[in-house]
Structure 1
């Protein structure tokens, strides 16, 4: 599976990051590439609401970070994402919004948290925990769900003549 992190990076920029290919650590999977392409293509459309008719309205179960994504502009980056240097400080500083994994069989799967060297990172430590606490009635789909729904729209033909679709 491939890992994706939606966060505010160390430079203060909103970013969707995934480990870069190379060094034989990451499989160059088709689902990983599809998520990168879709995340880049739908940047202005992400509002946190599933678009597909009958789409699930399930939300992150106390997710790694927020179930709310407001940005319409974010970078999509293939870069090093290291536990000690990048992720742990981001969790401690409240910069992690969401983590999800992708794979052929699972498509897109939200990650509730990470257990590293005896410590759990996740739950209410996300950047929008205060907003969620102040407005518990506010619900929106996760970024991962929005990307997954877009991919499902492609697969089911809800998005006509999409470049990812090849007729057999």
Structure 2
């Protein structure tokens, strides 16, 4: 491996250790500016929706290739001032995360497994050639943001405080390359339920629409992954569906649903009761925190075989016809665990649209409901699982 001298790095504009004292922003340097105006929220949690009502403050941190990380600020929630040539606006050099804080039955505010979100964000930052930061420092800042806006955390188990950390390139240069200036920010939104689960979720499976591919960035939480899915979401809605179910390759591997991971509870070809979900090592799908939690709970309960294994659309169709599919559900931070009741499959080979009825809602096991209620109990402190609950001390 070729060695590059420190002098050469300096000439190329990389920061020296004398100018960049920290490889991460530091909570100890935080400056807080309080907002004098307060957000008004609807009193009915059912009217909150998702991501429409924002809190009063935000975290704002700048980074420069020569100076490193500037002191973090918590300031009133407001618009950014951004140069028209900022790389984030042209080349989608932007990443984000999503996690939640919950007001517990004991009056404590809990954030669910936030260290996993920060580690995933750092992996995504490396892939997007954005600067690294320290997980602990980021969590301390998010704790403080929640403390400042503690009165915005809904005091009901029908809503939560959604937390959106983000990082994007602000370099004022149209050249395609690493950005010499970056912003790390975080704001929160008061959110209600993401789906109406009473009838189950309907999915559109069209093999011509692809979300990710091997060697791509499907495993990272980048903004560029989401823009192309909006059109497909509109197509799904036109067919009476809630989301698209993404298929991959000539084998039509089942991968994800919308921006969520998915699971199937079935009796497999070996006549075993099995909970199956696609593996993340292919790079085709996002390694979700809720997905990981569902797997850990299912293995802890030991009620069935639990597998991270690929399965194809043809296997799914055959299993539905043979009545071997018991439940099909999605998982995600926004959705928690949501039942799938129907899949509309565009079978191009037979030139038909086949409607697959999934008996999730009428399943005798109701495994998805147990997962959903257990996760909710952990979120709101009815079940104590300290390794998954970060308590924000007020």
Gaps of 5+ in 2: 1-259, 348-352
Q: Provide the rounded CA distance (Å) in 1 between the counterparts of 2:282 and 2:322.
A: 29
Report the TM-score, using the length of structure 1 for normalisation.
Answer: 0.68
What SS is found at the alignment partner of 2:339?
strand
1:26 is displaced (CA, Å) by: 1.4
Partner of 2:172: none
Report the TM-score, using the length of structure 2 for normalisation.
Answer: 0.30
1:140 is displaced (CA, Å) by: 5.9
Q: Does 1:150 align with 2:374?
A: yes
Larger radius of gyration: 2
Q: Note the alpha carbon deviations across 1:126-167, whole angstroms, 9 max, x for none.
A: 5x9xxx7xxxxxx96721111010111111111224432233
Partner of 1:28: 287
Q: Does 1:80 align with 2:310?
A: yes
Q: Provide the rounded CA distance (Å) in 2 between the counterparts of 1:141 and 1:11.
A: 20
* Aligned residues of 1:38 and 1:150 also touching (Cα < 8 A): no
1:6 is displaced (CA, Å) by: 0.4
1:43-122 aligned within 5 A: 43=302, 73-84=303-314, 86-116=315-345, 117=347, 118-122=353-357
* Aligned residues of 1:17 and 1:76 also touching (Cα < 8 A): yes
Gaps of 5+ in 1: 44-72, 133-138
Residue of 241, 261, 265 corresponding to 1:6: 265
Q: Provide the rounded CA distance (Å) in 2 between the counterparts of 1:42 and 1:165.
A: 20
1:13 is displaced (CA, Å) by: 0.4
Q: 1:141 to 1:93 in 2, by over 3 A?
A: closer
* Aligned residues of 1:154 and 1:162 also touching (Cα < 8 A): no
Q: Provide the rounded CA distance (Å) in 2 between the counterparts of 1:9 and 1:20.
A: 17
Partner of 1:58: none
* Aligned residues of 1:38 and 1:151 also touching (Cα < 8 A): no
Q: Provide the rounded CA distance (Å) in 2 between the counterparts of 1:32 and 1:92.
A: 27
Greater relative contact order structure (CA < 8 Å, 6+ sep): 1
- Count of aligned pairs: 126
Q: Provide the rounded CA distance (Å) in 1 between the counterparts of 2:285 and 2:385.
A: 30
Q: 1:10 to 1:153 in 2, by over 3 A?
A: same
Q: Provide the rounded CA distance (Å) in 2 between the counterparts of 1:141 and 1:17.
A: 16
Moved beyond 4 Å, runs of 4+: none
Partner of 1:159: 383
1:95 is displaced (CA, Å) by: 0.3
RMSD value over aligned CA atoms?
Answer: 2.1
Q: Provide the rounded CA distance (Å) in 1 between the counterparts of 2:365 and 2:310.
A: 27
1:82 is displaced (CA, Å) by: 1.0
